[in-house]
């Protein structure tokens, strides 16, 4: 019985040692699975070629989804390969190479032609590394497609750079002098085909339609779109309802009772800021003038000065209670809003996959609109938030927000905000039109300019 704790410690240390010794295999396996995922996307949607807009006829949102998946898997490969190399450097190489194959290899090993029973461990590792290199080389070369080349002044000629390193001594003398003769030229241009790209896209579409599996693919795409729509709408409702319900629940059952208890105990002032006090005084003065007016026109019976003062005192007590409640409500709003913001942030952090699906859904909705609908939405958005009449709307929003939080209305801050934020928002919106919408839908931009003139 005295040796049982020691045995458990030895067992834990042995398990930790085994886990550390299996780190290279585990990291390599995860990197290999990510490379298989990229290869599956290439084979299924891009005809075995690299994931790019030149290799398919998909729309902007679909390409963005595939490229985001590609970047995610490439990050996994990069991270796991660093882990693989770092962990192997601390382990003995003969011990690792001579290790027996472990059970539990993925089905991708056999699917890709790896015979675990007939090949030793070292050759299996080398083949996996070679497969990973073949997959990531396509995207490493594409990321280095901007080269430094001499500028040709006669004619608009684009020079296509190559990554051929078979001439190690041919340009040694002039390699260092090239930056002085030229600037960086983007050589990432489309290949020139014998047939127009639109005709090639039409032929590819006809080929896909003649494919016996085309109907199944259409059904599968429809189901994927349906699932994406359901998940996106459900996530939007989650983003709206959870913060609202959290705000109301915390305000009525958590923050509210605590604030009421401490405000009564400490005999807090009636008004949380000067604006509320001035507003209460104006209401009391208006009530007093109303009584005098009714007395003068004979609507109300004539009251003595004592009765008039009594009515004014009753109104003052009523206003005091009303503004005490409003001041306490402003403090409750601050804490309840903080709790609802934390709930919103928790949803964002814990639902990253749903955010990606929602982004893809919003891209499909925005870029799927017709040109006239896009122009209408753009004009509506700009006129409401950055148009000629937008300062009045921003002023109402800021005044309502300050009253909700119990803050005094700072006119200088409101005017400064109106003078700067809509201008910044308009600049960002115009940059989006120039940078993205002009590239994906130039006809929509032309329609927007014609409608806006």
pLDDT tens digits, 220-253: 888 888 888 999 999 999 999 999 999 999 999 9
> The tokens 């709408």 sit on which residue?
233
Token pair in block for residue 424: 């910044």
pTM: 0.52
**Mean of the per-residue pLDDT values of the chain:** 75
**Distance (Å) of CA 234 to CA 164, 196, 228, 239, 244:** 51, 43, 10, 9, 15
Angle formed by the axes of helices 214-250 and 352-367, to 10°? 120
pLDDT of 151? 36
Listed in sequence order, the DSSP H helices in 151-255 are 178-181, 197-210, 214-250
Distance CA 239, CA 348 (A): 8
Return the ∠ at Cα 282 (arms to 279 and 287), rounded to 5°.
Answer: 130
Mention every residue, 6+ apart, whose C-beta is less than 8 A from residue 194. none
DSSP-assigned beta bridge partners for residue 287? none
Q: Which of 59-73, 148-162, 282-296, 408-422 has the lowest mean pLDDT?
A: 148-162
**Whether pLDDT at 198 is above 60:** no
Residue 185, SS3 per DSSP: strand
Long-range contacts of 263-272 (CB under 8 A, 24+ apart): 263/328, 263/331, 268/327, 268/328, 269/327, 270/320, 270/323, 270/324, 270/327, 271/323, 271/327, 272/327, 272/330, 272/331, 272/406
The confidence band for 141, taking pLDDT boundaries of 50, 70 and 90, is low
Q: What is the pLDDT of residues 103-130, one digit of tens each?
A: 444 444 444 444 444 456 777 888 888 8
Burial of 76 (0-12, 13-18, 19+ CB in 10 A): middle
The ranges assigned to domains in the chain are 4-151, 215-355, 369-453
Higher pLDDT, 200 or 152: 200
Of 126, 49, 38, the residue nearest 74 (C-alpha) = 38
**Whether pLDDT at 327 is above 80:** yes
pLDDT of 346? 94
Mention every residue, 6+ apart, whose C-beta is less than 8 A from residue 189. 158, 160
Compute CA 84 distance to the chain's CA centroid, rounded to the nearest angstrom.
30
């Amino acid at each position: 019985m005295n040796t049982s704790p020691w045995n458990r410690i030895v067992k834990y240390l042995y398990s930790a040692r085994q886990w550390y010794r299996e780190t290279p295999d585990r990291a390599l396996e995860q990197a290999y699975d990510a490379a298989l995922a990229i290869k599956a996307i290439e084979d299924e949607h891009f005809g075995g070629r690299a994931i790019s807009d030149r290799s398919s006829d998909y729309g902007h949102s679909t390409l963005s989804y595939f490229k985001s998946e590609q970047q995610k898997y490439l990050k996994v490969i990069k991270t796991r390969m660093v882990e693989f190399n770092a962990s192997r450097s601390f382990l003995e190489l003969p011990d690792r190479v001579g290790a027996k194959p472990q059970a539990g290899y993925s089905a991708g090993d056999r699917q890709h032609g790896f015979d675990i029973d007939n090949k030793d461990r070292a050759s299996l590792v080398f083949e996996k590394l070679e497969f990973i290199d073949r997959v990531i080389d396509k995207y490493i070369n594409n990321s280095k497609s901007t080269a430094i080349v001499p500028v040709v002044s006669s004619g608009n000629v684009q020079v296509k750079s190559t990554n051929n390193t078979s001439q190690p001594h041919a340009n040694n003398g002039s390699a260092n002098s090239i930056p002085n003769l030229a600037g960086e030229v983007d050589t990432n241009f489309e290949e020139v085909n014998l047939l127009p790209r639109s005709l090639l896209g039409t032929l590819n579409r006809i080929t896909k339609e003649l494919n016996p599996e085309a109907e199944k693919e259409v059904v599968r795409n429809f189901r994927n779109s349906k699932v994406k729509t359901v998940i996106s709408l459900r996530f939007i409702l989650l983003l709206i309802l959870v913060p609202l319900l959290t705000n109301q629940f915390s305000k009525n059952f958590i923050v509210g009772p605590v604030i009421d208890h401490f405000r009564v105990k400490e005999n807090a002032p009636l008004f949380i800021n000067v604006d509320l006090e001035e507003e209460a005084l104006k209401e009391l003065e208006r009530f007093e003038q109303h009584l005098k007016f009714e007395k003068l026109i004979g609507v109300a019976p004539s009251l003595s000065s004592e009765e008039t003062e009594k009515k004014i005192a009753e109104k003052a007590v009523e206003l005091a209670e009303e503004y005490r409640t409003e001041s306490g409500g402003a403090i409750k709003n601050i804490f309840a809003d903080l709790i609802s913001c934390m709930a919103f942030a928790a949803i964002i952090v814990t639902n990253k996959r749903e955010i990606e699906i929602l982004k893809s859904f919003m891209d499909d909705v925005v870029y799927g609109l017709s040109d006239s609908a896009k122009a209408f939405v753009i004009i509506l958005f700009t006129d409401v938030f950055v148009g000629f009449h937008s300062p009045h709307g921003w002023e109402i929003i800021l005044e309502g927000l300050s009253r909700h939080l119990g803050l005094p209305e700072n006119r200088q801050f409101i005017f400064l905000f109106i003078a700067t934020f809509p201008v910044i928002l308009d600049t960002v919106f115009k940059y989006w039109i120039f940078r993205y919408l002009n590239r994906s839908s130039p006809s929509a931009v032309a329609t927007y300019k014609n409608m806006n003139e």
